[in-house]
Amino acid sequence: MGQHHADFPGVTLREYDLITRARIRSKDAEIDARRVLNQELGVLVSHAFHSPKSMPDFTRAAGRKGRSTKADATQDVEQLRASLMGLHFKSKKGA
Q: What is the largest CA-CA distance in the chain?
A: 64
Q: How far is CA 86 from the centre of its chain?
A: 19
For residue 82, give the nearest of 14, 32, 18, 16 by alpha carbon: 18
- How does residue 3 score in pLDDT terms, banded at 50, 70 and 90? low
- Each residue's pLDDT tens digit, 31-89: 999 999 999 888 888 888 888 787 777 666 655 555 566 677 788 888 888 888 777 77
Specify the pLDDT at position 28.
92
Domain ranges of the chain: 11-59+68-94
> Which of the residue ranges 15-19, 43-47, 91-95 would you say has the lowest mean pLDDT?
91-95
Q: How far is it, in rounded angstroms, from Cα 46 to Cα 41?
A: 8
Q: Is the pLDDT of residue 12 over 70?
A: yes
Query: Global pTM?
Result: 0.47
| Residue 88 and residue 95 in contact, taking contact as beta carbons nearer than 8 Å | no
Q: What is the phi/psi pair of residue 7, to 5°?
A: -80, 5
Among the listed residues 22, 26, 38, 40, the one whose alpha carbon sits nearest the alpha carbon of residue 86:
22
What's the pLDDT score for residue 69?
67
